[in-house]
A = this chain, B = another copy of it.
Amino acid sequence: MKNTFGNSIAVTVFGESHGEAIGVVIDGLAPGIPVDNNRIEFELSKRRPSSSIDTPRREPDKFHILSGVFRGKTTGTPLTIIIPNENTKSEDYTYGIARPSHADYAAFCKYHGFEDYRGGGHFSGRITAGIVAVGGILLPMLENMGIKIGTHILKCGDITDSAFSDFEKDIDALKNSNFPTISKDCGAKITEKISETSKKGDSIGGITQTAVIGMKKGVGEPFFDSLESLLSHALFSIGGIKGVEFGKGFDFADALGSECNDEFEIKDGNIGTLTNNNGGINGGISNGMPILFNCAVKPTPSISLTQNTVDFVKSENTEISVKGRHDPAIIRRICPVINSISAIVIADALASRFGTDIFLKGAEKCSLD
């Protein structure tokens, strides 16, 4: 469905980096879900460039809810949020010179030159602001059900953060932290690393780690809509993500079954596993353990160092040094996007399984009688 995702709860994104606005429509939400503008703003603030290691493009991200909210709560009909583009500098972009590892050339092959190329157009990371605004509604909705989602930078260059240990505590701390690492030290080191890289006109990649805790058991489908399928589908929509692994992921390669099978145990009447190498998913379906996954994020393709490339309009070889205003690393700003897009997948999977009204309590009297 191109720019729409979801079965019971469906999200449609639109907009271009230097167009009038970007935005998102979310359809299929239960009615009566509280919409707190402060929380939306809070989530957007986590994605917003703010420090020396982020792009100098500063957008106020003033979101605007056009439909689907009445008296502070969702109506159950499509909820539309737009975020006007204010700080656009289109003169930074000329058409035809392919920025290496950007979508410019692939977009030309698809759209025949009609694409809005300014600032990457519809391929810009700016589109993800709409996703984060949706997260500002869905994350608290899930929290009300006891489901929490948190993402931190597991790795950036040669610096590695601690993995999740006390899930709930770590997720709460990440929510309140202004840099998404579990270890404070590590945050400072990553900031420095990115800063250094930036000074050299270069960029750097990283790995994020995400946990979803409190997930209901028995959610997901055995074959094409496994939870892994749904999550990876949504995650790979985010520009810059080039790998997704669940639980032990690529480390399963040299593991033995006896080392990495997750043994079950009943404790206080509840069934869980002793380890969680499968990241909370067996056979595509949640087993009640934390859902755990990592995303590989490539270095921002925009670097000011000179690179060889082509002018695909003139059909000739040339060179480029990407000016514009860009992030030397998106690894920090991608964390709230991952939280939000995961919230969309989890909410949709729950709604598909239990009906949308699972998010409401005690409200469905009329319809079931």
Contacts and interface: CB of A to CB of B under 8 A. Distances in A.
B264 A21 contact: no
11 contacts: A2-B225, A3-B78, A22-B67, A73-B114, A103-B284, A107-B285, A109-B285, A110-B353, A155-B254, A207-B253, A253-B297
B264 A98 contact: yes
Nearest to A279: B242
A253 B154 CA distance: 10
A264 B258 CA distance: 47
B217 A367 contact: yes
A106 B250 contact: no
A16 B228 CA distance: 21
Interface stretch (A51-59, A163-171, A266-274): A266-274
A260 interface: yes
A237 B230 CA distance: 9
A77 to B, nearest CB: 4
Given A252-B298, A258-B303, 17 more contacts: A1-B225, A2-B10, A15-B66, A19-B70, A75-B111, A107-B285, A127-B223, A202-B257, A229-B232, A232-B232, A232-B236, A243-B249, A257-B299, A257-B302, A259-B299, A261-B303, A261-B307
Given A4-B27, A205-B255, A67 B296 contact: no
Nearest to A216: B367
Interface residues of A, number: 166
Interface in A10-65: 10-16, 19-23, 25, 27-28, 31-32, 64-65
A228 B107 CA distance: 15
Interface stretch (A133-141, A180-188, A311-319): A311-319
A278 interface: yes
Nearest to A309: B264
Nearest to A353: B355
Given A3-B223, A367-B217, A256 B66 contact: no
Contacts of A323: none
Contact of A367 (B79, B109, B252, B352): B109
A20 B354 contact: no
A64 B242 CA distance: 36
A136 B249 CA distance: 29
A216 to B, nearest CB: 6
Contacts of A297: 252-253
Contacts of A299: 252, 255-257, 259-261
A17 to B, nearest CB: 10
A122 B222 contact: yes
Contacts of A100: 261-264, 273
A343 interface: no
Given A67-B16, A354-B357, A244 B261 contact: no
A324 interface: no
A352 B6 CA distance: 13
Most B C-beta atoms less than 10 A away, residue of A28, A104, A233: A233
Contact of A75 (B64, B115, B206, B317): B115
A308 interface: yes
Interface in A294-352: 294, 296-303, 305, 307-310, 312, 315-317, 352
A143 interface: no
A224 B3 contact: yes
A244 B228 CA distance: 10
Contacts of A363: 112
